[in-house]
Homo-oligomer: A and B are copies of this chain.
C-alpha cells in the first residue's frame, strides 16, 4: 500500500471515507487506529488530517451521510396508497436499501455509543424521523381497521428490528436472492400487523 509522495486530494478523500467505513465495520471504531486507516488508503497517518478534523468526525460524517442518504432515498419513494400498500413499499425499500450497504448499516447501528453527545443527538433525531414514517403507516392502518396492533410504537420498533436483522446474515452469494428475501420478510410483516 506504499505511495510515492504527491498530491491526490480529489481521490484520497473518498478513499479515506471508504477505508474508515470498512475498518470500523469489521473491527469497531474504538479498535481501529488512524494508522490502520492510513495504511489502508496508502498514506501516512498525518495526511488523514487533511480530510477530517479528527477521528470522531470521521465516524460522525459516515453515520450522518448514511442517515441523510436513507431519508433522501425514502423521500424519493411513492408515499401514496392504502396503509397496506404503503407498508409494503416501506418494507421492500428498507430491505433493499439496507442490503445494499451492509457496512454503513452495521456501523450506524453498532457505533452509536462512540458518538460524542452532540453528534449522537443529531443521528438519533434522523433515526427517529425515519421510524416515525413507519409508525404513521401503522397508525393509519389501525385507524382504518386493516391492521390490528396493541401498540403502534412497539410494533414499529419490532418491525424495524426484524427487517434490519437481515443484514446480519444475508450474503449476496447465498442461496437466496435479495428479491426472494424481500418477499419472505414482507409476508411475515404483513401477517404480523394485519387484523384477523
Interface residues of A (CB under 8 A from B): 26-31, 110, 113-114, 149-151, 154-155, 157-162, 164-166, 168-169, 176, 181, 183-185, 187-189, 191-194, 196
Q: Is the CB of A165 within 8 A of B161?
A: yes
| Number of copies of this protein chain within its complex | 2
With A161-B165, A191-B191 given, is the CB distance from A154 to B184 under 8 Å? yes
Q: Is the CB of A188 within 8 A of B158?
A: yes
A162's contact among B149, B161, B187, by CB below 8 Å, is which?
Answer: B161
Q: Is the CB of A150 within 8 A of B31?
A: no
Q: Is the CB of B31 within 8 A of A114?
A: yes
Contacts of A30 in B (CB 8 A): 27-31
Q: Is the CB of B26 within 8 A of A113?
A: yes
A154's nearest neighbour on chain B, judged by CB, is B184
CA separation between A188 and B157, bound complex, in Å?
Answer: 12
Question: Most B CB atoms within 10 A — which of A28, A110, A196?
Answer: A28
Please classify the interface of chain A as helix (H, G, I), strand (E, B), loop, or mixed, using the class held by over half of its residues. Answer: helix
Nearest Cβ on chain B to A87's Cβ, whole angstroms: 13
Q: Is the CB of A165 within 8 A of B158?
A: yes
Q: Is the CB of A168 within 8 A of B161?
A: yes
A187's contact among B150, B166, B183, by CB below 8 Å, is which?
Answer: B150
CA separation between A150 and B28, bound complex, in Å?
Answer: 34
A192's nearest neighbour on chain B, judged by CB, is B192
Q: Is the CB of B114 within 8 A of A151?
A: no
A28's contact among B28, B168, B188, B189, by CB below 8 Å, is which?
Answer: B28
A195's nearest neighbour on chain B, judged by CB, is B191
Contacts of A110 in B (CB 8 A): 110
Contacts of A188 in B (CB 8 A): 149, 155, 158, 192-193
CA separation between A158 and B188, bound complex, in Å?
Answer: 9
Nearest Cβ on chain B to A179's Cβ, whole angstroms: 12
Q: Is the CB of B114 within 8 A of A150?
A: no
